[in-house]
Structures are given as C-alpha cells and as structure tokens.
Amino acid sequence: MKAPNALVVVTTTETKEHAEFLARTLLEARLGTCVQIIPIHSLYRWQGAIESAGEYRLEIKTLLRCYPALERLILRHHPYETPEIIALPVVEGSAGYLEWLEGECRKA
C-alpha cells in the first residue's frame, strides 16, 4: 500500500534513560505510534575534530502532519546543541500497519 504521509524520524541521544524519556513523551503526546531504541556507536565530525561516542538511536514512526510538533518536542527536551533529527519517507507499507499508524497519531 502506498504511504505518502508516513515517516520514520530518526534522532540520537546519549543515554538509554533519555532515549526512553523522549520515546514516552512523544508517544504520550500522540506524535508517534512506535519508537524503537537501538544502541549504536557513532563517529562524526564536530567542531573540527572526529568524535566517537556510544549513543541510542530512536526510530519514530509518525505522519507528516505530526512532524512539526514532533521536531519541536525533541528540540525542547534534547541535551545536544545540534541534535540529529531527520525524517525519512515511507514509500510503501502493509495496509494494516499504515491504518494503525494513521489512527494512533494525533490529528493536526
């Protein structure tokens, strides 16, 4: 099934506790329907140096209409100066999952 309004939003944070806090806060606000938290190891350039850090990646299933409020919520509660917040479009998905996603995200 085509999914023109579905997104997977990705962000990272430094602790499991903060990742769970962000996930619960987003779910309680109905800005996402499912958040997966994955431990990762990141290498990145920051202020002219290559950094290495353990982080937690959040994959947030949401809808386009929820993105602006979702981004604001992440920025308001995020400890990083410049957090990664990217939205990836979902091109296709199972009909049942997409209907569930549509029904669980808050209305604009």
- Global pTM reads 0.93
Q: What is the pLDDT of residues 68-97, one digit of tens each?
A: 999 999 999 999 999 999 999 999 999 999
Q: What is the pLDDT of residues 15-64, one digit of tens each?
A: 999 999 999 999 999 999 999 999 999 999 999 999 999 999 999 999 99
Distance CA 81, CA 97 (A): 34
The CATH architecture one would assign to domain 6-104 is 2-Layer Sandwich (3.30)
